[in-house]
Structure formats: structure tokens, C-alpha cells
Amino acid sequence: MSLTHPHRGHSVLAVAGVLALLFLAGCSNGGNGTAPATSPSSTATGDGPAAARIVIENFTFSPADLQVRPGAKITVVNRDSAAHTVTATGDKTTFDTGNVAGGATVTFTAPSTTGSYSYICAIHPNMKGTLTVR
């Protein structure tokens, strides 16, 4: 009889230890799961320069009308195999990426003056887009 008491005591401690390990494992998993989810949403609520992006695919600018802050950095991703440009119509000095090779990514800086700027691809002038700075 006297041997059962210490045995019981160990069982209780063992169960408590397993529960503690499960609790700790659950905590670390929850932390890892929520951390990546919160960081993209916090950047998305920023001023938008990180999201300013023009994708060229199938000889089309997307989005056709991009809205950015003055002086925002704009990324241009060319998913076609052909080279393209993002060139402001009228005064080309407003912005002009020059040739963006197929598969290449470049950046340019949006004008610091608010307004609506039309642009084309200098190689394929039928490709049209609008950059709105506001």
C-alpha cells in the first residue's frame, strides 16, 4: 500500500508537465502564426509608395490608372518578353523609364506636382496608361 502513494504523486506531476509543454507549444505556434499576418497589413495602411506598381503584361499597363503620392517610388514590372517603356506623353522629362527589357523590373519617381499624367510605351504607342498624383 505504501508504494502506491509515491507512484500517484509522480503520475500527477507527469500529467502536469505534459500539460505545461502543450501550453507552451500552443503559445509559440500562435505567435508564429500571427506575426507574418500583421506585418503586411501594417505596411498596407502606409502612404502607399510600397504598393505603387505598374505591371506590363500582354502589351497592357495594369492598373491603367495608378494613383500615387507626389514623389512616390513606382515599380514597373515587365512580364512580357518584349521590351516596353513607361514614358510621359507631351513632356517626356516628367518621367520616362527608358527601355525596360522583357522580364525586367525598374523603378522611377512620380512627379512632385499633383495632377493626371498620361503615359505611353514609346516602342508601342498604342499602349496607354494614366498616372494620377494626388
What grid cell was written down for 86?
513607361
CB of 120 to Cu ion, least distance (A): 8
Nearer to Cu ion, 53 or 124 (CB): 124
- Please give the residues from 85 up to 124 whose contact with Cu ion meets the rule CB under 5 A: 121, 123-124
DSSP H or E stretch at residue 13:
helix 4-44
Q: Does 128 bind Cu ion (CB under 5 A)?
A: no
Other Cβ atoms closer than 10 A to 111:
17
Of the candidates 69, 76, 77, which has an alpha carbon nearest to the alpha carbon of residue 108? 76
Tell which one of 52, 54, 68, 84 touches Cu ion (CB under 5 A): 84
What grid cell was written down for 75?
515599380
Nearer to Cu ion, 69 or 128 (CB): 128
Query: Which residues here bind Cu ion, judged by CB under 5 A?
Result: 84, 121, 123-124
